[in-house]
Amino acid sequence: MTAPFALYIDGRFEAGAATFDSIDPATGQVWAQMPEARIDEVERAVTAAERALRDPAWAGLTASQRGRLLYRLADLLEHAAPELAALETRDTGKIVRETRGQIAYVAHYYRYYAGIADQVRGHVVPVDKPDMQVWIKREPLGVVAAIVPWNSQLFLSAVKLGPALAAGCTVVLKASEEAPAPLLAFARLIHEAGFPPGVVNIITGFGPECGAVLSRHPKVSLVAFTGGPETARHIIRNTADNLAKVSLELGGKSPLVVFADADIDSAVNAQLAAIFAASGQSCVAGSRLLIEAGVKDAFLARLIEKVNAIRVGAPDDAQTEYGPLCTERQLRTIETVVAQSIEQGARLLTGGHRIERDGFYYAPTVLDCSGVPRAMSEITELFGPVLSIDVFSDEADAIAKANSTDYGLAAGVFTRDLTRAHRMSQAIHAGVVWLNTYRAVSPHAPFGGYGLSGHGREGGADAVLDYTTTKTVWLRTSDAPMGDPFVMR
C-alpha cells in the first residue's frame, strides 16, 4: 500500500503545504493523512506542465511513441488494479467487488487512446486560390486542468488523461479532497511508465484553495471537469479570467422506463443495478423508476423482495453487495430529502433509515411518489441509494415524465417492442439511452449529458479532438515574386 501519500509535481513526489484527514466511510474514523496543494503547489504544477508541453522530451515524441507510453501505463494499471481497488475501497467506501472490476477495465481506456494517438490526422483544403497549398494540422491544445470528484476517479481521470496524452497535451489532475488516495497512488504508475517530468502532475486539495486556483490559472487551456452543477458554475466563472475551454460532465436524475411488455425480471435486475450499485453514488444512477400502471404491483413485489435481500457489509469483504456512503454530509442530505418527500406524501416502501453499524450506511430506499407532484426525491440529484417511483399511462405520458427534469445524462427503457424502443430513444432528452440494458460503458462509446448534466462528451474516438486545436498553414507554390501591393495594375 502506498503511504505516506504525496503530491506528484514535475516528476517528483512531495509533501504538500499541509495535510488533512481522510475518513474511512466504513468506520467514520480517520485512516490516513493526505497532502494538501494550495496556491504554491498549483502554481508549480501548472508551470511544470507548461514547460513539459514545449520540452522536446515530450513535444519531440512521435504520436506512436506517446501511444507506447499509454500502452505501458495500461499494463501497469492492470497489474496494480487490486492494490488501487483496495485503496479506493478504503477511502471511498465503494465495495471491493465494484472497485476491482472497474479499475481493471479502466486499463482498456488507456489502450484505446494509445491506439488512437497516431490516428489524429490533419487534412488538405482545396481553397479557391491558384498556386496555394493549404493544410490543417491538429496540435495539442495545451495544459489541461482535469478536475474529478471522489467517485470512480480512476475511470473519470482515464477519460480525460487518455485523450489528452494521446493528443500531446500535458495535464494537472486534481483529485477530490474527499478521497484522493487512489489517484495519488496512481501517480507511481505514471512515473514508472516513463512519462517525462511535468507531463502529468497529480495533486489534491480543497475547492477554493486548489480547484479554483487551478481552473483560473492563465496557463491552463482546457478545464475538463466532472462533478456537481454548482461547482461547474464556479468553474465557468473562474474561466472568465483565462478564457480556457471547458468540458462539463455533471450529475443526473435519470429515469428507467419500464413498459408492461418488458421482460420484468430483467428490468428488475437493471433497476437494482441502476440505483443501488455504488450505494447510488453514481452520476448515471437510475433514480427514477417510471413504470406502466398495469405492471406496477408485480414489478414492485419483485423489486422490494430483492432490495431486502441485498447483502450489506464491510466494503472490503468480497461477499458484500452494498456498502456505506462516502461522507457523513451526504448521509444527512439524503435523510433530509427522504423526510421532505414523505412529508409531501411519498410512501416509503423500504429503507428510509440509517443502518445500525459504524460508518455512513443508509439503507437502500424505495419511495412511491405516484400522485405526489414534484416530490423532493424526484427532482433532487441525491447521489445516494434512493429510488423514486412514478407510474405512466401510455407512451406519451412516459416521455413527458422522463423529460420532466432539467438534467439529461442517461435513461433506460425496457420494452420488447422494437419500434417503440426507437421512438423512446429519439424522444428522451439524454446523452445516453440504454434500451433493455443499463449502465453499459465502453471506451469506444461517447458519454455525456444534456442540460444541467453538462455538455462534454468523453469516451469514443472524437474525444481526442477536444484536446487538440487546428493550425491552418498556407503555402504559396509559385516561384514568381509577390506583387508590390502599392503598384496599381
Is 452 a binding residue for ligand NAD by CB under 6 A? The answer is: no
Calpha distance 100→488 (Å, rounded): 75
Structure-block grid coordinates of residue 446: 461517447
Nearest to 266 by CA among 290, 302, 304: 302
Read off the amino acid at residue 449. G
Half-sphere exposure of residue 333, counting CA atoms within 13 Å on the CB side?
A: 15
Nearest to 87 by CA among 129, 24, 146, 36: 24
Is 89 a binding residue for ligand NAD by CB under 6 A? The answer is: no
Is 66 a binding residue for ligand NAD by CB under 6 A? The answer is: no
Q: Which residues contact 34 (CB under 8 A, 6 or more apart)?
A: 5, 16, 19, 20, 21, 22, 177, 180, 181, 184, 204
Annotated catalytic residue within 283, 292, 378, 458: 283
Calpha distance 50→120 (Å, rounded): 22
Nearer to ligand NAD, 47 or 176 (CB): 176
Task: Return the range that interacts with ligand NAD (CB under 6 A); candidates 111-119, 221-229, 259-267, 293-301.
Answer: 221-229
Whether 283 is a known active-site residue: answer yes
92-131 mask for ligand NAD (x: CB under 6 A)?
Answer: ----------------------------------------
142-181 mask for ligand NAD (x: CB under 6 A)?
Answer: -----xxxxxx---x-----------------x-xxx---
Half-sphere exposure of residue 57, counting CA atoms within 13 Å on the CB side?
A: 15
> E strand or H helix at 96, and its extent?
helix 96-116
Strand, helix or coil at 118?
A: helix
190-219 mask for ligand NAD (x: CB under 6 A)?
Answer: -----------------xx--xx--x----
Considering only residues 395 through 414, tell me which ones interact with ligand NAD, judged by CB under 6 A: 409
Is 251 a binding residue for ligand NAD by CB under 6 A? The answer is: yes
Is 224 a binding residue for ligand NAD by CB under 6 A? The answer is: no
Annotated catalytic residue within 50, 88, 98, 249: 249
Question: What is the 3-state secondary structure of 18-43?
Answer: EEEEEEECCCCEEEEEEEECCHHHHH
Considering only residues 344 through 383, tell me which ones interact with ligand NAD, judged by CB under 6 A: 381, 383
Nearer to ligand NAD, 281 or 468 (CB): 281
Supply the residues annotated as catalytic: 249, 283
Interaction site with ligand NAD (CB under 6 A)? 147-152, 156, 174, 176-178, 207-208, 211-212, 215, 226-228, 231, 234-235, 238, 249-251, 283, 381, 383, 409
